[in-house]
Amino acid sequence: MHPRDQTIFALSSGRPPSALAVVRVSGPQASLVLTALAGKLPAPRQASRRLLRAGADQPIDDAVVLWFPGPGSATGEDVAEFHVHGGRAVLSALLAAISDIPNMRAAEPGEFTRRAFENGKLDLTEAEGLDDLIHADTDRQRRQALRQLQGLLGDRARDWRERIIEASALIEAGIDFSDEGDVPAELMAPAVKAIRALHGEITEVLAAQGHAERLRDGLVVAVAGEPNVGKSTLINQLARRDVAIVSPHAGTTRDVIEVQLDLDGYPVTVIDTAGIRETDDPVEQEGVRRARARAEDADLVLWLVEGSPAVDVTGSPWTSGDGSGRAGGSVWVVRNKIDLGGGGGARGEFGISASRGDGIPELVDALVKFAAEYFGTSEGAVVTRARQRDLLRRASDSLRRSLELVEEGEELAAEELRAAAYALGRLLGRVDVEDVLGAIFQKFCIGK
Ligand SMILES: Nc1nc2c(ncn2[C@@H]2O[C@H](COP(=O)(O)OP(=O)(O)OP(=O)(O)O)[C@@H](O)[C@H]2O)c(=O)[nH]1
Ligand SMILES: [Mg+2]
């Protein structure tokens, strides 16, 4: 039997124990599983309370069951759902009873969604949105993922693809009917107009993206500086808990410590690093090496200093005088321990007391602003993955080339249009995507 024709099952809710748990079954045997465990088939799409049994004298749990006959189900196949009490023993008894039925198989990660995709219930951009929705940690990530799941990019790509196919049909009709080789102007003019409009729309979407794809991973902010300036204290203050060891010893932090923050819906990873100094201690040297590496890759470095503003900070490894970092990221100078006197930060600096909390709200506000600018107009972001961006860029390049080639020969222009339609087909998962499907669905949760 082809794996696609097998009936699959999985625990779709979180890790037990939990108050309730949901086990899903999808495939041709779903009704058989339901009747074997719960008696006669319940009415479609209606919750029914049943005693589940593995055999006449082996009750499993008092449960709610649901029956979704295909094709009007989430996967497009027959689907059964068991809502049981979320105890480990309940679940192992239920899963064992299901797998005892011949030809049943535990689902692979993302296999329910993959079946939904293969049955045309959602396109690939929508499946990607679904995956992002499940992994969303912050409110902005959630909203972006939900828009993608609802077809924000998919709908536009479908529309573009149809219009490209129409334009190429005009050109190809012209090629077929012209004996002299020249496609009549009444066919070419509307085709060229349509291609120009399409090229404009796709380029505009690509240009208006900011770093929207990065909203999935988050912004990386490194806290760096000399030993003992209060980097770990600042991290604890931002995280509002004790994640890093703080001590009056210079050289306390060795490992790179990461904290995930939700700043006004923006996901931000803040990194605490070892104080940067020359040292003979090999362990501390390694810490300093890692600190430099992480700070160089960061989107923003908070270069922490202490002492009065007269202290020169131009010697920091990342400030290049104009506030930009070496690796293209930004650097902010943050003057700590202002509680010890010496005034606040100088112009262009932040003045804080990491231990008392002075200046922290201002610093956090500035980080939120930075994140908002960095991610751009995430409300309007249409492209949420590098895969999507690459394919859109390919489509846009092909459209541009087809405009350039129209003069030289309609066949060449038509060829480029086919390439553009192909790129959008791949974006939607409609053509030639076997190679990417595995990579996309493997990252899904089991049971989704
Ligand atoms: N007075 C005062 N002391 C502070 C402040 N922030 C941190 N400290 C103290 O400074 C010392 C060093 O703080 P840490 O947070 O461990 O400094 P660090 O930069 O992480 O040091 P290393 O990990 O060794 O590089 C500790 O004794 C803290 O209590 C502050 O705002 N005011
Ligand atoms: Mg530290």
pLDDT confidence tier of residue 344, bands split at 50, 70 and 90: low
| 3-state secondary structure string across 237-287 | HHHCCCCCCCCCCCCCCCCCEEEEEEECCEEEEEEECCCCCCCCCHHHHHH
What is the residue range of 38's domain?
3-122
Ligand 1 in reach of 354 Cβ (< 6 A): yes
Task: Please identify, among 122, 147, 165, the residue that sits at the C-terminal boundary of a domain.
Answer: 122
Q: Residue 316: exposed, middle, or buried by beta-carbon count in 10 A (0-12, 13-18, 19+)?
A: buried
pTM of the model: 0.78
Say whether 361 counts as a known binding-site residue: no
Residue 250 CA: nearest ligand 1 atom is 24
User: 318-343 pLDDT, tens per residue?
Assistant: 444 444 444 457 899 999 999 987 66
Ligand 1 in reach of 442 Cβ (< 6 A): no
Same domain, 8 and 99: yes
pLDDT confidence tier of residue 91, bands split at 50, 70 and 90: very high
Same domain, 148 and 91: no
Same domain, 253 and 351: yes
Domain containing residue 169: CATH number: 1.20.120.430
Say whether 286 counts as a known binding-site residue: no
Ligand 1 in reach of 148 Cβ (< 6 A): no
Same domain, 333 and 352: yes
Q: Would residue 436 count as lying in a domain?
A: no
Same domain, 345 and 399: no
What separation in Å is there between the alpha carbon of 273 and the centre of ligand 2? 7
Closest to 357 in 3D by CA, of 222, 261, 237, 262: 237
Same domain, 224 and 358: yes
Same domain, 143 and 259: no
Structural domains counted in the chain: 3
User: 120-149 pLDDT, tens per residue?
Assistant: 999 999 999 999 999 999 888 899 899 999
Same domain, 319 and 365: yes
Say whether 231 counts as a known binding-site residue: yes
What separation in Å is there between the alpha carbon of 305 and the centre of ligand 1? 11
What separation in Å is there between the alpha carbon of 137 and the centre of ligand 2? 27
Whether the pLDDT of residue 213 is over 90: the answer is no
